[in-house]
Each structure stands twice: as C-alpha cells, then as structure tokens.
Amino acid sequence: MSLPRHFAEWQSRVDARMAELLPSEDLPAPALSQSMAYSALAPGKRVRPLLCMASALAVGGDPDAALDGACSLEFLHVFSLIHDDLPAIDNDDLRRGRPTNHKVYGEGMAILAGDALFALALKVALTSHAEPAIAHHAGLCLAECAEVLVRGEVLDVLSEGENPDLALVQEIHAMKTGALLGCACEMGGRLGGANEAQAASLRAYGQHLGLAFQIADDVLNETGNEEQLGKASGSDRARGKQTYVAVMGVDGARAAAEREISAALAALDDMPGETDTLRTFARYVIDRQH
C-alpha cells in the first residue's frame, strides 16, 4: 500500500509554501531564521498538511484553499518536535535522520526557534482564509490543540517507567497525536467549505487516524530498524514509555490500529467530495514501514 499518487506533488507544494512563509535571513538575528528553516524544511512525510488538503477535497473544495492551513499545522508540529527533543525533555539526538535542532544550534536557540515556529503557525493559520470567521476558526483550533499537545507531552514524560496502562496510553496518544490530526482534518474541511456536521466528521476521522498512526509508530519503534526510523529502534521500550506495544504486545497493537482505522473510515460516509485520498491514506498509515 503506497500513498495516493498526487501526494508527492502536494508535498512539493507544501514544502515550497513553507519556504515562502518562513522568515527571511535578512531580518535581525538571521540565525533564528536559519534554525527555524533547518527543522521546518527537514525531509518529512508532511502527514498533517496532506490530511488538511485531502480534507478540503473530501468536502468538494479545492485542496489549494487549504495550503496555508496545511503549512500552519506542520509549523506547529515542528515546534513540538524541537521542544520535545530537548535535553531537558526527551533528550533525542536524531530527528528525521538528522541531528536535532539543539545539536546544531544549541539549546537556547532551539527553544526560541520552537517558540518562533509556534508563533508563525498561529499567524499563518489566522491568515489562511480571507473570511475572518473561517481564519479565526483555524487559529483557535490550532491554539486549543497546542494546549492539549503540550499537556500530552508532560503526561508522557511523567508516565515513563510506570506500569503500562491502556487508559493512560490512549490518553497520551489522543493528546499528542489525535488532537492535531483531528484539527488538521477539521481545518482543511472548513477551509474547503465544510458545514458544521462535515467539520465534526472530519475531526472524528482525524482523531481515530491519529490514534492508529501513533499505535503504528509504537509498533514500528519496536520492529523497525534505525535506517527506517531515522532514530534508534526499541528506544521507547528502553525508556519505559507508555505504548500500545507495552500494554498489549505487537499483535494486540496492530489489531487496535485496525479498529481505529475502521472507525476513521466510517466517519467519511457522508462526505460530499472525493474521499479516496483520505481512505487510501488511512490504509497507508498502518501499512507503512517508516
């Protein structure tokens, strides 16, 4: 199972637009712009942007209408990666196959580059649509999501080394991944013209997909190799992290991911537009090898 064929082209459009939206190196303190671009433009799957654009399509809208919203989601995601990787939090040296931001630019700059990407994400979301009410919704969705994301990271860190617990791991994954994927799909839908019911269905699709995505990540962290992962394999277990694999083993985790994917697909039943892209993406999430 591979990604929808037009995704490579969408990824290029997202990367090009992110490069345009990132701050210039002609501004004061150009090192900040460089540090932001280093992490934001690192090769990545652009899962959140693609979901956002595909959700616009699912309500019969133009994916390009969701392009700036798509970029805002990736900027927010990258902010959270930079901060989570810091020595005082997860202390990771590698991200997307490259040294983490603080390894290249130092801790102080990494903290501030994360902050600046967070601010940029909000600014871009709030200017993603000409209609203030829709742009307002995009920004609010992102701000609420960021709050949940940060609390999920704290919960994750504080729960390391505790006995694996299904309710806890579900909560962490819903906060760290489900919320932002739900936001991505709802935002894309709204930027593409969704009504309230469609927006709610797309959010549900994204939340279920987010859980499946994170469960699949847990499985990959256990079964993948370093080349596939861009970081050391088995690192979650070594750290005593709360994961689906720790709670129910690899097979149990795979079955749980399948259930989430079924729920995600069911949420697409009444969409007025093209949902093949979102459906293909859902299958890809649990079949992917990296």
Q: What track of x and - describes contact with a second copy for positions 232 through 251 (by CB under 8 A)?
A: --------------------
Binding a second copy (rule: CB under 8 A), the pick from 9, 132, 196, 269 is: 132
Phi, psi of 223 (to 5 degrees): -105, -15
Nearer to a second copy, 8 or 133 (CB): 133
Q: What track of x and - describes contact with a second copy for positions 25 through 64 (by CB under 8 A)?
A: --xxx-xx--------------------------------
Rule CB under 8 A: say whether 136 interacts with a second copy.
yes
Nearer to a second copy, 82 or 229 (CB): 82
Rule CB under 8 A: say whether 106 interacts with a second copy.
yes
Give the shortest CB-257-to-a second copy separation in angstroms: 23
Query: How many angstroms separate the CA atoms of 105 and 113, rounded?
Result: 9
Query: How many angstroms separate the CA atoms of 288 and 149, rounded?
Result: 24
Give the shortest CB-159-to-a second copy separation in angstroms: 9
Burial class (CB in 10 A: 0-12, 13-18, 19+), 193: middle
Nearer to a second copy, 121 or 202 (CB): 121
Rule CB under 8 A: say whether 115 interacts with a second copy.
yes
Nearer to a second copy, 131 or 226 (CB): 131
Q: Which two tokens stand for residue 174?
A: 């819903």
Cβ contact 272:60 at 8 Å? yes
For residue 290, the 8-state DSSP code is -
Q: At residue 6, what is the residue type?
A: H
Give the shortest CB-198-to-a second copy separation in angstroms: 19
For the chain, where are the alpha helices, taking DSSP H only? 7-21, 30-40, 47-58, 67-84, 101-105, 107-126, 132-159, 166-173, 179-191, 196-223, 226-229, 235-239, 244-266, 276-287
Rule CB under 8 A: say whether 150 interacts with a second copy.
yes
Rule CB under 8 A: say whether 155 interacts with a second copy.
yes
Cβ contact 93:100 at 8 Å? yes
Cβ contact 146:202 at 8 Å? no
Name the pairing type of β-strands 98-99 and 94-95: antiparallel
Give the shortest CB-101-to-a second copy separation in angstroms: 12
Residues that bind a second copy (CB under 8 A): 23, 27-29, 31-32, 83, 86, 88-89, 106-109, 111-112, 114-116, 118-120, 122-123, 126-127, 132-133, 135-136, 139-140, 143-144, 146-147, 150-151, 153-155, 157-158, 171, 175
